[in-house]
């Protein structure tokens, strides 16, 4: 299993950052490079606990679908999604939010595993972990920009 741990400090209110992180529309804007679209379940607005979203995107030259479900949510401090269907063997993404000196610290902990045994492990190690880190950094950059731009 591979784990990515990212921390992003945002000069904005925790409630605003929390909502932006679960905003389906903003997520689609952050993934324009992969043409990611919500095609089933919650397809717009703020996803809530118990809801699912199915994404369709072009990754590594192939269109793929990925269905996630929000299994845990404590507003505005955290939410967790897991993959129900998709190309990964397993996928769990924890989104954690803390306040520090009038700023929000957004923490991503993404745990994933590719199928195909040792070949999948090698693929994770040499390529996929870097690819997924870049994907999350792009998303976080847009959340930060949107939160800091629309500060109250």
Using one digit for the tens of pLDDT, what is the confidence trace for 3-33? 999 999 999 999 999 999 999 999 999 988 8
- What stretch of H or E contains 117? helix 117-123
What number is the average pLDDT over the span 34-46? 95
Cα torsion angle, 10, 149, 34, 21, sign = positive
Supply the pLDDT for residue 34.
Answer: 87
Domains in the chain: boundaries:
2-149
Mean pLDDT of all residues belonging to the chain: 94
Supply the pLDDT for residue 36.
Answer: 92
Decide if pLDDT at 117 tops 70. Answer: yes
- Beta carbons within 8 Å of 80's beta carbon, 6+ residues apart: 70, 71, 72, 73, 92, 93, 94, 95
Dist. CA 101–CA 39, nearest whole Å: 39
Answer whether 104's CB lies under 8 Å from 97's CB: yes
Decide if pLDDT at 152 tops 80. Answer: no
What number is the average pLDDT over the span 86-91? 95
2-149 topology per CATH: Alpha-D-Glucose-1,6-Bisphosphate; Chain A, domain 4 (3.30.530)
Supply the pLDDT for residue 126.
Answer: 86
What number is the average pLDDT over the span 129-139? 95
Burial 84-123 (b: 16+ CB within 10 A, else e): eebebeebbbbbbbeeeeebbbbebebebebeeeeebeeb
What number is the average pLDDT over the span 99-105? 95
pLDDT bucket at 87, cuts 50 / 70 / 90: very high
pTM over 0.85: yes
Cα torsion angle, 34, 3, 24, 88, sign = positive
What number is the average pLDDT over the span 112-132? 90
Dist. CA 107–CA 123, nearest whole Å: 25
């Amino acid at each position: 299993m591979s784990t990515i741990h990212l921390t992003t400090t945002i000069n904005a209110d925790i409630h605003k950052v929390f909502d932006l992180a679960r905003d389906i529309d903003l997520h689609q804007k952050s993934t324009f490079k992969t043409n990611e679209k919500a095609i089933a379940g919650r397809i717009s607005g703020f996803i809530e606990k118990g809801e699912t979203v199915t994404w369709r995107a072009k990754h590594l030259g192939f269109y793929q679908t990925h269905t996630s479900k929000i299994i845990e949510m404590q507003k505005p401090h955290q939410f967790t999604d897991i993959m129900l269907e998709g190309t990964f063997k397993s996928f769990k993404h924890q989104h954690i939010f803390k306040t520090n000196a009038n700023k929000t610290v957004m923490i991503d902990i993404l745990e994933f595993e590719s199928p195909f045994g040792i070949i999948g492990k090698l693929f994770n190690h040499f390529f996929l972990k870097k690819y997924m880190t870049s994907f999350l950094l792009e998303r976080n950059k847009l959340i930060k920009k949107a939160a800091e731009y629309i500060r109250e």
